[in-house]
Amino acid sequence: MGANSSSICELPENEYLKRLSGAEAVSENDPFWNQLLSFSFTAPTSSAELKLLEEATISIFKSLVENNPRTGNLGALIKVFLSRTKELKISAECQNHLFIWQAHNALFIICCLLKVFICQMSEEELQLHFTYEERKPGSYGVECEDLTEELLCCLIQLIVEIPLLDITYSISLEAVTTLVVFLSCQLFHKEILRESVIHKYLMRGRCLPYTSRLVKTLLYNFIRQERSPPPGSHVFQQQTDGGGLLYGFASGVATGLWTVFTLGGVGSKPAPQQEQSSPLANQSLLLLLVLANLTDAPDTPNPYRQAIMSFKNTQDSTAFPSPSPHAFQINFNSLYTALCEQQKSDQATLLLYILLHQNSNVRTYMLARTDMENLVLPILEILYHVEERNSHHVYMALIILLILTEDDGFNRSIHEVVLKNITWYSERVLTEISLGSLLILVVIRTIQYNMTRTRDKYLHTNCLAALANMSAQFRSLHQYAAQRIISLFSLLSKKHNKVLEQATQTLRGSLSSDDSPLPDYAQDLNVIEEVIRMMLEIINSCLTNSLHHNPNLVYALLYKRDLFEQFRTHPSFQDIMQNIDLVISFFSSRLEQAGAQLSVERVLEIIKQGAVALPKDRLRKFPELKFKYVEEEQPEEFFIPYVWSLVYNSAVALYWNPQDIQLFTMDSG
């Protein structure tokens, strides 16, 4: 990028950048391109570093925007890149560092320019800049070539066809990033884009045949989690014999900007987190999520979503249902392992949600796993640390649990998995507990957190729905889990009494006053009573379906029997209280017959004996509690801003000025 630049402040005066953006057209065959593209650098790893770069080159960008309609230099640069990508696969196989290095540098410049163009102009204006060519006498009226679709198709081919090696890692990452940038027009619109030029190119025409291969490659990039190779391994290195004429030319040009100035600082070490991460895996996942959430065209469903919904396991030999135009196969075991290991990130949790919700093959496979704890524990940990997570991440984790609890086999198996020493659970030392009991504890903790902090009805509803789905299969509940179920009911009972008292006092005061309108305590009471009803149904479901499997719940019920007195005659709860009242009366009678001063062990023994003796027909049967997750209407109104907030906040994000973002407010990501 110039032999004389050695610091970021000198970029605006760099002779090569000035010529690229200047008023003089540069032919795509000009030796200038070899000089411009022969630079080596440490790739930016954060939005802060990219911000420095962008701020230093504002004048270059402005000059290019002004001059490009006459010079067509942007188009010439793109054509240079396109011509070099034709030999990339052979270059990778032959270890031709120089060729790959220059192609990468061309794409890096294109990506930086493209991002600024997209921030500053409409898609239509952007497309015009891709069509501009050098204006020569007599050339007016000649139809110009549109390079947009060709570049998009080339990027996809690069991603799916170039083998991932140390020397190709950077250009593969840059290709994925450039596709994200192409789609970033959405960031600068408040409304969801439903008709986009870029979307049309990606969902039909030359790009369409690559749909399944692109989705598969992006998934494998996520699965493999390949770390960025050591600095210098992707840059053309001097050979021991001097490298010949080609190396001498390249090294003579590349002594400037990037060999001296690196965005991380000369000699600086990357942060430990950066060392451990895989930029390509992260960026591939973000691109996959963006593609999966593109809106359907009026006459064309989103092919990327179709591919995600229909892919199968490599071990599945059954035929694909017809029609399945974008179906493919992938190793489910590797995918499952990667999903289990990566759940600390929002985007991995969102991918898990999409696969469980939309791909029945993946859902069936996961529910059949015998090591479900590897997937469930990271999800529970997200919910347990609710204070540290954004609300969207918590919702996704909760909906995943709801989807899993729709399956009775899952609800049975989680009580058979015994865990030891859950270190992240700090309220109480859990030396041994079933996965099912731990799940109950974490969901109840989430409900209690929500009651005191966020008060989100949607979160309440989904937590209770997950508990309700599991309730008929509760087995051998841990004593602490049983206690927490009754403690939650106690908390709800106190809240109910408090609101009832406030309503009564306010009503009395209003009889002697003509003040402002009364608070709507009736609505508050209605919400609390709905939740209390749900909790009673959950307890009742457990008692009627698996009483003999849960002595600890009966023990906790008897210990706090006074809690249920006020609800026995309440018109909203009378029916559901019949069974609970019967169980309390039956076991209380047996304990009285056994005498006073009973030990905990003796009480539990009497409960176990009583559970066998209690006639099952005495408990009234209620309809089975079953709740199914249903995606809201127009889910794109939620998911598209969410996905782009993840892109914006990503560790390998591109830099966007917060003031330019229209899709979401900066505190909502």
Give 358-393 pLDDT, tens digit per residue. Answer: 999 999 999 999 999 999 999 999 999 998 888 899
Q: Considering only CA atoms, which of 184, 160, 15, 27 is closest in space to residue 88?
A: 160
Give 616-658 pLDDT, tens digit per residue. Answer: 888 888 888 899 998 877 788 889 999 999 998 885 657 788 8
Q: How far apart are CA 669 and CA 652, in angstroms?
A: 16
Q: Considering only CA atoms, which of 423, 420, 392, 394 is closest in space to residue 643?
A: 392
Largest Cα separation within the chain, whole Å, is 110
Least confident of 7-11, 366-370, 498-502: 7-11
Given this model, what pLDDT does residue 462 score? 93
Least confident of 418-427, 573-582, 648-657: 648-657
The torsion angles phi and psi of 263, rounded to 5 degrees, stand at: -65, -25
The first and second tokens of residue 44, run together, are 């930016």
pLDDT at 118 > cutoff 60:
yes
End-to-end CA distance of the chain: 36
Given this model, what pLDDT does residue 179 score? 97
pLDDT at 523 > cutoff 80:
no
Mapped to the 3 state alphabet, what secondary structure does 290-309 carry? HHHCCCCECCECCHHHHHHH
Give 325-371 pLDDT, tens digit per residue. Answer: 888 999 999 999 999 999 999 999 999 999 999 999 999 999 999 99
Mean per-residue pLDDT for 250-269?
33
pLDDT at 275 > cutoff 60:
no
Given this model, what pLDDT does residue 225 score? 96
When comparing pLDDT for 609 and 46, which is higher? 609
Give 147-174 pLDDT, tens digit per residue. Answer: 899 999 999 999 999 999 998 999 999 9
Query: How many CB atoms sit inside 10 A of residue 328's CB?
Result: 17
Given this model, what pLDDT does residue 657 score? 82
* Highest-scoring range by mean pLDDT, 217-231, 293-307, 368-382: 368-382
Q: Any idea which residue has 């149904």 for tokens?
A: 537
Q: Which amino acid is at 28?
A: E
Least confident of 114-118, 251-255, 321-325, 479-483: 251-255
Contact 15, 4 (CB under 8 A): yes
Confidence of residue 53 (pLDDT cuts 50, 70, 90): confident
Q: How far apart are CA 21 and CA 60, in angstroms?
A: 6
Q: How far apart are CA 475 and CA 304, in angstroms?
A: 41
Given this model, what pLDDT does residue 2 score? 47
Confidence of residue 43 (pLDDT cuts 50, 70, 90): low
Mean per-residue pLDDT for 400-406?
97
DSSP 329: E
